[in-house]
Structure 1
Amino acid sequence: MASYLPIPGGHITLAGRFVDPALSFAMGWNYWYNWTILLPTELSAAAILIEFWTHSDKLNPAWITICMVVVLAINVLGAGAYGEAEFIFASIKVITIVGLIILGIVLDLGGGPSRDRIGFRYWITPGPFAQFNGIQGATGQFLGWWSVMTQAAFSFIGVEIVAIAAGEAKNPRRNIPKAIKRVYIRILLFYIGGTFIIGLLVPSSEPRLNLDTTNAGASPFVIAINNAGIKGLPSVINAALLTSAWSAASSDLYTSSRALYGLGVAGNAPKFVTLTTKRGLPYVSLAICSLFSGLAYMVVSAGAGKVFTWFQNMTSVAGLVTWFGISVTYVRFYAGLKAQGYDRTKLPFYSRLQPFVAWYSMTLCLLICILSGWKVFLRGQWRTDTFVTNYLPLVLFPIMYLAAKLARKTRIVRASEMDFVSGLAQVEADSYDEPPPRNKFEAFWGWLM
């Protein structure tokens, strides 16, 4: 959808065009909420990383303030400074994860100081699946796997930002499909590859992985490096991860402020949030969104690991709700193309597995959201904080949709009436053939970034 119609607002605008303006309203506010809560989430993650060096049971709030100032300064300086900072941070992230994957392979094969050849030892004992809450057998293993579905979803939040950026991208008809393909490759290489290596190096029963009871030493790569007996490197890795947390927090503030600005432009938020400086900086939206960073100070009293888990639950469910909305939008988009006689294979980007993948995504996202807090319903496992953080975003979304639908009296767009033309001429006019990379290094680095 975004490659065919790379318009401002991305999937939020497309939801109003192909499904229902009320859905666009709900998705817009859900998206703003998602990225706004991600800001203190990343700041609390930074606090966890700092605890690696302080070895203190109580975090000094000054560290949170320092992280907040860095993030706010990057955003106040404007899009240029943000872009430069992101390039530096992204370069550090890419170098770090590639280095960690290579190091992980070396350590697994016995190349560390301890000369311990691990191989697939931990896949046998204790095994890749932990027993949940002492429940034995396949049932306990399945529940252990299902219990981390929302945490896994947290790692994938943000891949949809390609669609949000489509309206501002250069040569979107060519660059958006390339960006989408690279996202798939990066997920396989960095996310799946990194997780695979971690599974080889650290047993599933490792107590230091529990954020409720431990500090930043719980980073699995740091655990593996410490176990291998490599001195000094854990601090280097932790510092690199800290820059990654800063980068993520900076992106969260940038995206949430632009999301709020976009809501104002679309008439879904008060007009004062659209006020900008002469350079185009939406300072009102930026100021409002930055206020939510103060939630990160909760780590001082409740503990960094626990607070991070709360925010992680809230943002994971909100992210899944976003992808539920995207899937619904695509199903309607597909129906509109079919009803109006468009050849889907002629689009700038298409998948042979559609619309089945969209239906799969819609169903699974909704199922994971509904069962995200299932643990609290077990006997003796009730936790109000877990229940609220898991189900608050899920409850708010249909409330916002129904409220907008009743207030504005919107209706679902018929497939035969969907608008596939508005804005298309400008998109096609902005398309052009790009010059090839000047050398192999430029091509490789451009693919990574």
Structure 2
Amino acid sequence: MYEEKATTPPLNSEKQLGDSSSLEKAGSDPHDYAVHADDDRYHFDAADLDRVQRRLHQRHVQMIAIAGTIGTGLFLGSGHALQNAGPLGALIAYCLVGSVAYSSLCAIGEMTSHAPISGTFPHFAARWVDPALGFAVGWNYFYNNAITFPTEITAATILLSYWDSNTGHQPIYIAVLCVCACLINLFGVRYFGESEFAFSIIKLSLITGLIIAGLVITCGGGPDHTRHGFQYWRNPGPIAEFLETGGLGKFLAILSVLVQAAFSFQGMELVAIAASETQSPRRNIAKAVRRVFYRILVFYILGVLVTGMLVPYNDPHLLSASGTAAESPYVIAMQLAGIKTLPGIINGAIFTSAFSAGNSYLFVSSRILYGLALRGQAPRIFTKCTKKGLPIMAVGFTCLFSALAFLSVQSTANQVFNWLVNLTTVGGFFSWATMNLTFLRFYAGYKAQGLDRKKLVYYSSLQPYLAWWGLFWTSLFILINGFAVFWDFNASGFLTAYINIPIFFGLYFGWKLYRKTKWWKAKEMDFFTGVPTLEETETPFVPPTTIWGKIFEFLF
């Protein structure tokens, strides 16, 4: 069996290890790690040492968690969900997908609470399921986020057209935004944390203000003083129909929005991916994961409920494909109510949201590439770090993907760009499915080896049922991702909807055959090698004593 090498604790903030030989698995007894001095497979090279540094503070982590749950999918995508499924259909879809997203986050949150190290869930998959699964999901997640990075930059550029409709300026805007995102990441994780902190405050302020404004308008507080209530649930109705397909149409309408809503929720796992660069990661990530449930409930579910009260699903403005705030249901509601000054402000805030998303995807993909390189599943050059712990080669290589954004400028290349975007759509579902599958194996290994999950800083009492729930639905999302193409079949639509499935399994079986890997048995899993102790990662918690300190602690 191929032995996957584990990472050692970070050199900067963890205890440095003098013995460089270690095992990810060395027998059926998890506490028995023999040193095979004559076997090179069990030795760490300098490239295998994790050198990132813990520079993210509590407030960064909490706001990054918010940034992962609020984005353009909520501000703009909720309008398309309303149009396709109606107010009740959209609400059902977002509730279901929210529960699936939460199950995936709980799974990775608990595993990260045990092992807050670089590589995150691809490393966990390699360590507790099969090294080939870690390789497949790691590369899948890398190229999915690396391609989504220029996609978000393009979305931000389109938002700028709200003020500047001159298409000749688009390449300039793309270049400026790409350079800004790359510089933020090249300056180091602390600058990334500060930028996401600021962007998240804007997002939080925007969605809170929009929900409050929506409630005021629906209660008759707008300039037209019209009380909307739930009138649009009665006329045109609670659920739209998919392509007017009769009785089946309402079900298919909800089904179509399930996939769309899932795209909106993707990105929550960012907070766990940043664990290896977070101060007191176990305590701070546990706090962030616990609060995500309420953020989903308030911002997504309440937000979708309010939009369904403000705008009828057959409103012609919802058909807008401008990519700007003009297609936001909140903006449409304000225009219908006679409010004319806020749309430009909302567009500016959504612009920062799109740029923040691109910034985050660049960060995430570079750290996943770094984690792959640490395990020998990517070229070792990507393990190179600066003295301040920045994986400079991984970040620099990922920045090169920004050039793909320029494909959207030329009409001849725009189709290629759209294909690349569509190739990534199912990648997030594979990631969620892998998180839940890996947790089920993690759960089995903990139980088989007599370890107590309740001693972890974070654990969910709803597990393993949450993981089974998440695994079932994410597997279904993968299968129904492109179901609409069968109503108007075309080869390119089918290919872009489902090509990621053979790519993923090609990566999995290719690495499995190349390295002859096998699934880990529960009693053989290694839960200790290279995993820092609580004393090595956590600083003592000092409770706030002032009123402002208590407010800060409550918010962040």
Do both share a fold (TM > 0.5)?
yes
Q: Specify the alignment match of 2:516 in structure 1.
A: 409
CA distance in 2, matches of 1:99, 1:348: 34
Deviation string, structure 1 residues 426-445 (Cα, Å, up to 9, x no partner): 33443343112344544444
Letter in 1 for 2:369: L
Q: Which amino acid aligns with 1:21?
A: P
For residues 331-364 of structure 1, give each alpha carbon's deviation from its aligned partner in whole angstroms, at most 9, with x where no partner exists: 1111112212223333322222221221121111
The amino acid of 2:489's aligned partner reads: W
Judged with a 3 Å threshold, the aligned counterparts in structure 2 of structure 1 residues 186 and 303 are, in CA distance, closer, same or farther, namely farther
- Tell me what 1:333 maps to: 442
CA distance in 2: counterparts of 1:440 and 1:141, whole angstroms? 51
CA separation in 2, counterparts of 1:419 and 1:12?
Answer: 15
**Residues paired across the two proteins, number:** 446
Q: What is the letter of the counterpart of residue 95 of structure 1?
A: S
| Other-structure match for 2:192 | 82
The answer for the alignment partner of 1:91 in structure 2 is 201
Contact 2:185 2:191 (C-alpha < 8 Å) held by counterparts: yes
Report if aligned partners of 2:325, 2:346 keep a CA contact under 8 Å in 1.
no
* Percent of aligned pairs with the same amino acid: 46
- CA–CA distance in 2 between the matches of 1:365 and 1:163? 19
Given that 2:115 and 2:532 are in contact with CA atoms closer than 8 Å, whether structure 1 keeps it comes out as: no
Is the 8 Å Cα contact of residues 324 and 347 (structure 2) preserved in structure 1? no
Are the equivalent residues in 2 in contact too, given 1:41–1:311 (CA < 8 A)? no
- Whether the 8 Å contact between 1:44 and 1:304 is mirrored in structure 2 is no
Further displaced range: 166-175 or 112-121: 166-175
Determine the C-alpha separation between the residues in 2 that align with 1:427 and 1:304: 51
Query: 5 Å matches for 1:300-339?
Result: 300-301=409-410, 313-339=422-448
Q: 1:57 to 1:201 in 2, by over 3 A?
A: farther
> Over residues 38-76 of structure 1, what are the superposed CA-to-partner deviations in whole Å (9 max), with x where a residue is unaligned?
212211221332232345688733222232222123223
Q: How far is 1:23 from its partner? A: 0.8
Aligned to 1:130: 240
For 1:246 and 1:280, the matched residues in 2 are separated by 24
* Preserved contact between residue 313 and residue 390 of structure 1 (Cα < 8 Å): yes
> Where does structure 2 lack aligned partners over 5 or more consecutive residues?
1-110
- Does structure 2 conserve the Cα–Cα contact (< 8 Å) formed by 1:25 and 1:400? yes
Give the structure 2 partner of residue 17 of structure 1: 127
Mapping of residues 166-315 of structure 1, within 5 Å: 166-210=275-319, 212=321, 216-301=325-410, 313-315=422-424
Label 1:411 to 1:44 Cα distance change in 2 as closer, same or farther (>3 A): same
What code does the residue aligned with 1:265 have?
Answer: L
Check conservation: 2:273, 2:364, Cα contact below 8 A: no
Counting only pairs closer than 5 Å after superposition, residues 358-377 of structure 1 correspond to structure 2 as 358-377=467-486
Bigger mean CA offset, 46-55 vs 415-424: 46-55
SS in 2 for 1:132: coil
From the superposition, tell whether residues 101 and 216 of structure 1 become closer, same or farther in structure 2 (CA, over 3 Å): closer
- 1:133 and 1:56 mapped to 2: Cα distance? 35
Give the corresponding residue for 1:149. 258
Change (3 A) 1:190 1:255: same
**Comparing 432-441 with 32-41, which one deviates more in the overlay?**
432-441
Whether the 8 Å contact between 1:59 and 1:300 is mirrored in structure 2 is: no
Change in Cα spacing, 1:314 to 1:106, as seen in structure 2 (3 Å) is farther
Cα-to-partner distance string for 1:162-188 (whole Å, 9 max, x where unaligned)? 322222222233222111101222111
Question: Which residue is 2:544 aligned to?
Answer: 437
One-letter amino acid of the counterpart of residue 277, structure 2: E
Name the amino acid aligned to 2:467.
A
Residue 454 of structure 2 is matched in structure 1 by 345
Partner SS state of residue 134, structure 1 = coil
Structure 2: distance between partners of 1:382 and 1:216: 31
Structure 2 equivalent of residue 382 of structure 1: 489
Asked whether the 8 Å contact 2:119–2:370 carries over to 1, the reply is no
Q: 1:238 to 1:297 in 2, by over 3 A?
A: same
Structure 2: distance between partners of 1:224 and 1:384: 38
| TM-score, scaled relative to structure 2 | 0.75
Kindly state the Cα deviation for residue 244 of structure 1 after the two structures are TM-superposed: 1.1
Deviates more, 1:14-23 or 1:265-274: 265-274
SS in 2 for 1:8: coil
Q: Contact conserved, 2:113 with 2:458, CA < 8 A, in 1?
A: yes
Q: How far apart, CA to CA, are the structure 2 residues paired with 1:431 and 1:277? A: 24
Cα distance in 1 for residues equivalent to 2:328 and 2:418: 14
Pick which of 100-109 and 64-73 moved more. 64-73
CA distance in structure 1 between the partners assigned to 2:210 and 2:260 by the alignment: 21
Corresponding residue number in structure 2 for 1:354: 463
Quick one: which amino acid aligns to residue 63 of structure 1?
Y
For 1:119-143, what per-residue CA distance to the aligned partner results, in whole angstroms no more than 9, with x for missing partners?
Answer: 1111122223221112233x10111
Distance of 1:424 and 1:284 partners within structure 2:
25
Give the corresponding residue for 2:93: none
Q: Residues 141 and 431 of structure 2 are in contact (CA less than 8 Å); yes or no, is this contact kept in structure 1?
A: yes
C-alpha contact 2:273 2:367 (8 A) present in aligned 1: no
Q: Deviations over 1:178-206 (max 9, x none)?
A: 11101222111112222221221122223
How many angstroms does 1:390 deviate by?
Answer: 2.1
1:53 and 2:160 aligned: no
Distance 2:325 2:492 in 1: 22
Residues 214 and 408 of structure 1: CA distance in aligned 2, closer, same or farther (over 3 Å)? closer
Deviation digits for residues 70-110 of structure 1 (CA, Å, limit 9, x no counterpart): 21232232223222222211111111111111111111111
CA contact under 8 A between 1:2 and 1:163: conserved in structure 2? yes
Mapped to 2, the partners of 1:87 and 1:25 lie a distance apart of: 31
RMSD, matched Cα: 2.6
Sort the Cα spacing of 1:349 and 1:249 in 2 relative to 1 into closer, same or farther, 3 A: same
How big is the shift at 1:424? 4.6
Which amino acid is 1:426 matched to? T
Q: Is the 8 A contact 1:39 1:249 kept in 2?
A: yes
CA contact (8 A) 2:325 2:343 kept: no
Aligned equivalents of 2:231, 2:405: Cα separation in 1: 39
Tell whether the 8 Å contact from 1:151 to 1:313 is kept in structure 2 after alignment.
no
Whether the 8 Å contact between 2:136 and 2:504 is mirrored in structure 1 is yes
5+ unaligned residues in a row in structure 1: which ranges? none
Paired with 2:416 and 2:536, the residues of 1 have a C-alpha distance of 48
